[in-house]
Amino acid sequence: MSHRYTIALDVMSGDHGASVVMPAALGALQETRDIRLVLVGDKAVIGAHMRHWPEPVKPRAEVLHASQTVGMEELPAVALRNKKDSSMRRAIDLVKQGGAQACVSAGNTGALMATARYVLKTLAGIDRPAIATALPSLFGHTHMLDLGANVDVEAAHLYQFAVMGSVLVTAIDRNETPRVGLLNIGSEAIKGNDRVREAAHLLERSSLNYIGFVEGNDVYCSDVDVVVCDGFVGNVALKTSEGVARMISENIRSEFKRSWLTRLRGLAALPVLNRFRSRIDPRHYNGASLLGLQGIVIKSHGGADALAFQNAIRIARKEAEANVPQRIDKQLGRLLRQEVEV
Amino acid sequence: MSHRYTIALDVMSGDHGASVVMPAALGALQETRDIRLVLVGDKAVIGAHMRHWPEPVKPRAEVLHASQTVGMEELPAVALRNKKDSSMRRAIDLVKQGGAQACVSAGNTGALMATARYVLKTLAGIDRPAIATALPSLFGHTHMLDLGANVDVEAAHLYQFAVMGSVLVTAIDRNETPRVGLLNIGSEAIKGNDRVREAAHLLERSSLNYIGFVEGNDVYCSDVDVVVCDGFVGNVALKTSEGVARMISENIRSEFKRSWLTRLRGLAALPVLNRFRSRIDPRHYNGASLLGLQGIVIKSHGGADALAFQNAIRIARKEAEANVPQRIDKQLGRLLRQEVEV
């Protein structure tokens, strides 16, 4: 099979740069025969890694030199202005020019979003791109957006996020009528704020499979497919989830370490606990989509390891295969027309 | 020891009413000798429960008849207008009249907040009461507010929440300089919204032990004592946490139920897992404080069982002992004066 999808990797960004991205690249090439990778970054560094690669995969990897790296704390405006030869910028440029169908970066979210938006532009009808990711749930998984790109949004933006999330799930999960919920709070007194209520009205009138308000627990414990919220709330929910999961796992560990008896019990339970752990392993969920752009950009967690980064590459391939931006564009056009007709 | 604290219990509200509140009341009376309880609700129902109580505790329980019950879905305004003889209203009235130092209700949050605010009034300098609760963390526990009373807040409100939360922790944890953090998102691009930034400026200039921005994971994994946020974000964070914890625990259970071998492994691990579960058992954290009122009102989870409701009574007693409203009043006066001086 020839390589059908070309994915550009920002090799230098993230907390670990090439030491994580290069092994992930090798893993991805070995796992999936139909991809080609463009490794963007310092060619000496990349070359040093590739020397140890098995020969058969090498033809599917191309190196694109970039002399700069965007720092994890660098301000987006500064990165945009001063880092035109950064691995991040070059990888996104490549998507713009058609040299790759998608790119993956573990670089800082703000700079990545700003650069992607500047280079690729948003789709017609999208005011603001959003960040979406899949999260594990009792029913498989749930996609949530926005996760931090937009802190102050209006109802119309939440509506656009719903469209984008719905299209994403249709495209990559082959679910034609994803259940879309609007994140709200359940206190009887005050069902959310004006923005959320207004967005609900928009969604009720749309042709999306809108199921109404959902609460925080529904992200993990109900069969909703797409949870829509503003970026502040989404980011807090995501980080809070990480915190709870970490606390629970450290508590379990420390309970099993109390004494030789509990250690023994831990040993007995280990295979099962490991299996469970792998089921909710955040590395299997690494890779957030920057949606609403005229191109596919996948953001890996900055601290991701090779296994996690490889998952982000997997998502990039999936979105390339499903043509996510074109689908959103089409669906959005349809929904906007529909709205006018209503 | 004579009974130093009198606590009014709304016996009828919540998903389970008397069948949960009455056993919790008995448990509390047996656990703590220095409390007296006023059991507010249908006297026939209450009497039926008390018939089975051991004689020695009975002198410390008084019954106050109330003919109505506020429904869990009842609108606050409706409850306020039409349910003047409800167990909820009577319990709060009792606090107002000095017949009890605190009250506990598992009733609907909106009605409880509206009634408490109407009857007890807010403290001078507090625009809006907030809901606060303790959450388990790797460092013991963290208090978080607001959890849903206020969805649209201004910076000044967040500042008031910080003062209230700080005083609460000082009063009940005997921590003189609680570490106060402002919940924000960490995306480098856009550090929060204007409100949060403005609140940060107010907090930096205050005499509170303000440690700066914290993120969702810090609630569970850092040594912050008080996490301040608006009620929408707080409620989502709380519910999301519940969802993650439930998903994890159900996943662990189902992994152990896969086969006879994993069941055996589960049996071995059970005592340790139970111990861990009790450490993060939400029932041990049941009981949220309605802060900023001229009186103590503790909200129990609507679906709480007796063990959980008893914990809410424990919190009511603690806050009565610590005189939380008076302390907030004093501290707030001091901080407001300080602000003027600045």
Task: Give DSSP secondary structure letters for A36-48.
Answer: EEEEEE-HHHHHH
Give residue A317's pLDDT.
96
- B167: tokens are 């005083």
| Contact at CB, A251 and B280, closer than 8 angstroms | yes
| Contact at CB, A276 and B251, closer than 8 angstroms | yes
Give residue B60's pLDDT.
96
Give residue A339's pLDDT.
58
ipTM of the complex: 0.86
User: Would you call A195 an interface residue with chain B, using a CB distance cutoff of 8 Å?
Assistant: no
The average pLDDT across A10-36 equals 96
Q: What is the pLDDT of residues A200-210, one digit of tens each?
A: 999 999 989 99
User: Would you call A260 an interface residue with chain B, using a CB distance cutoff of 8 Å?
Assistant: no
Residue B211, φ and ψ in degrees, nearest 5: -105, 0
Q: Which residues of A touch B218 (CB under 8 A)?
A: 243
User: Would you call B231 an interface residue with chain A, using a CB distance cutoff of 8 Å?
Assistant: yes
Give residue A281's pLDDT.
73
Residue A174, φ and ψ in degrees, nearest 5: 55, 40
Mean pLDDT is lowest, of A37-46, A123-132, A137-146, B252-261, for B252-261
User: Would you call A239 an interface residue with chain B, using a CB distance cutoff of 8 Å?
Assistant: yes
Q: CA-based angle B94:B96:B97, to the nearest 5?
A: 65
More confident residue, B191 or B120: B120
The size of the A-B interface in CB pairs under 8 A is: 244
**Alpha-carbon distance A265 to nearest alpha carbon in chain B (angstroms):** 5
Task: Decide: A5 and A36 in contact? Cβ < 8 Å.
Answer: yes
**Alpha-carbon distance B295 to nearest alpha carbon in chain A (angstroms):** 21
The average pLDDT across B42-65 equals 96
User: Would you call A217 an interface residue with chain B, using a CB distance cutoff of 8 Å?
Assistant: yes
Give residue A228's pLDDT.
97
Identify which of B243, B262, B275 has the shortest CB distance to residue A221.
B243
The average pLDDT across B47-55 equals 96
User: β-strands B140-145, B130-137: how paired?
Assistant: antiparallel
**Alpha-carbon distance A334 to nearest alpha carbon in chain B (angstroms):** 32
More confident residue, A342 or B29: B29
- B211: tokens are 């440690």
| Contact at CB, A109 and B255, closer than 8 angstroms | no
Q: Is the pLDDT of residue B261 over 90?
A: no
Q: Is the pLDDT of residue B336 over 80?
A: no
Percent of the residues in chain B that have a pLDDT greater than 90, as a whole number = 70
Give residue A251's pLDDT.
80
**Alpha-carbon distance B151 to nearest alpha carbon in chain A (angstroms):** 6
| Contact at CB, A221 and B149, closer than 8 angstroms | no
Comparing alpha-carbon positions, the chain B residue that sits nearest to A138 is B247
Q: Which residues of A touch B231 (CB under 8 A)?
A: 185, 187, 190
More confident residue, A182 or B247: A182
Please report the residues numbered 33 through 92 in chain A whose beta carbons come closer than 8 angstroms to any beta carbon of chain B.
Answer: 72-76
User: Would you call A14 an interface residue with chain B, using a CB distance cutoff of 8 Å?
Assistant: no
Identify which of A73, A183, A192 has the shortest CB distance to residue B188.
A73
User: Would you call A19 an interface residue with chain B, using a CB distance cutoff of 8 Å?
Assistant: no
The average pLDDT across A67-91 equals 94
User: Would you call A298 an interface residue with chain B, using a CB distance cutoff of 8 Å?
Assistant: no
Give residue B338's pLDDT.
63
What is the full DSSP assignment across A101-118?
A: SEEEE-S-HHHHHHHHHH
Name the average pLDDT for chain A: 90
Q: Which residue has the tokens 């856009």?
A: B190
Q: Is the pLDDT of residue A190 over 60?
A: no
- Residue B237 CA to residue A236 CA, distance in Å, equals 7
Give residue B151's pLDDT.
83
Distances in Å between the Cα of A169 and the Cα atoms of A155, A188, A236, A298, B91 are 21, 31, 22, 15, 50
- Residue B47 CA to residue B67 CA, distance in Å, equals 14
User: Would you call A256 an interface residue with chain B, using a CB distance cutoff of 8 Å?
Assistant: yes
Nearest to A143 by CA among A161, A121, A124, A158: A161
Name the average pLDDT for chain B: 90
pLDDT band at A272; cut points 50, 70, 90? confident
Nearest to A241 by CA among B226, B134, B224, B216: B216
Q: What is the pLDDT of residues B83-101, one digit of tens each?
A: 999 999 999 999 999 999 9
Comparing alpha-carbon positions, the chain B residue that sits nearest to A251 is B276
The average pLDDT across B242-246 equals 88
Q: Is the pLDDT of residue B183 over 90?
A: yes
- B207: tokens are 């005499």
Give residue B172's pLDDT.
87
The average pLDDT across B118-147 equals 93
Question: Cβ of B177: how many Cβ atoms within 10 Å?
Answer: 12
Mutation to test the A interface, candidates B118, B142, B185, most A Cβ within 10 Å: B185
Mutation to test the A interface, candidates B138, B142, B153, B188, most A Cβ within 10 Å: B188
Q: Is the pLDDT of residue B2 over 70?
A: no
Question: Cβ of B19: how many Cβ atoms within 10 Å?
Answer: 14
Q: Is the pLDDT of residue A248 over 90?
A: no
**Alpha-carbon distance A48 to nearest alpha carbon in chain B (angstroms):** 31
| Contact at CB, A276 and B75, closer than 8 angstroms | no
Mutation to test the A interface, candidates B13, B195, B198, B236, most A Cβ within 10 Å: B236
Task: Decide: B186 and A239 in contact? Cβ < 8 Å.
Answer: yes
More confident residue, B282 or A53: A53
Element (H, E) at B194: helix B194-205
Mutation to test the B interface, candidates A117, A138, A248, most B Cβ within 10 Å: A248
pLDDT band at B188; cut points 50, 70, 90? very low
Give residue B189's pLDDT.
41
Q: What is the pLDDT of residues B130-144, one digit of tens each?
A: 999 999 998 889 999
Q: Per the omega criterion (within 30 degrees of 0), is the bond before A146 cis?
A: yes
| Contact at CB, B246 and A216, closer than 8 angstroms | no
- Residue A126 CA to residue A161 CA, distance in Å, equals 9
**Alpha-carbon distance B54 to nearest alpha carbon in chain A (angstroms):** 38
Q: Per the omega criterion (within 30 degrees of 0), is the bond before B218 cis?
A: no
User: β-strands A35-41, A130-137: how paired?
Assistant: unpaired
Mean pLDDT is lowest, of A28-42, A300-314, B234-248, for B234-248
User: Would you call B172 an interface residue with chain A, using a CB distance cutoff of 8 Å?
Assistant: no
User: What structural domains and CATH numbers belong to chain A?
Assistant: 1-123+292-321 (3.40.718.10), 127-287 (3.40.718.10)
Mean pLDDT is lowest, of A182-186, B106-110, B187-191, for B187-191
The average pLDDT across A167-181 equals 92
Identify which of A108, A216, A220 has the shortest CB distance to residue B236.
A216
pLDDT band at B342; cut points 50, 70, 90? very low
Give residue B267's pLDDT.
75
pLDDT band at B190; cut points 50, 70, 90? low
Mean pLDDT is lowest, of A19-28, A186-195, B40-49, for A186-195
Mean pLDDT is lowest, of A154-163, A247-256, B115-124, B171-180, for A247-256
Q: Is the pLDDT of residue A47 over 50?
A: yes
Q: Is the pLDDT of residue A50 over 90?
A: yes
What is the full DSSP assignment across B123-182?
A: PTT-SS-EEEEEEEETTEEEEEE-SSS-SS--HHHHHHHHHHHHHHHHHHH--SS--EEE
HSE-up of A202 (CA within 13 Å, CB side)?
A: 23
The average pLDDT across A149-173 equals 92
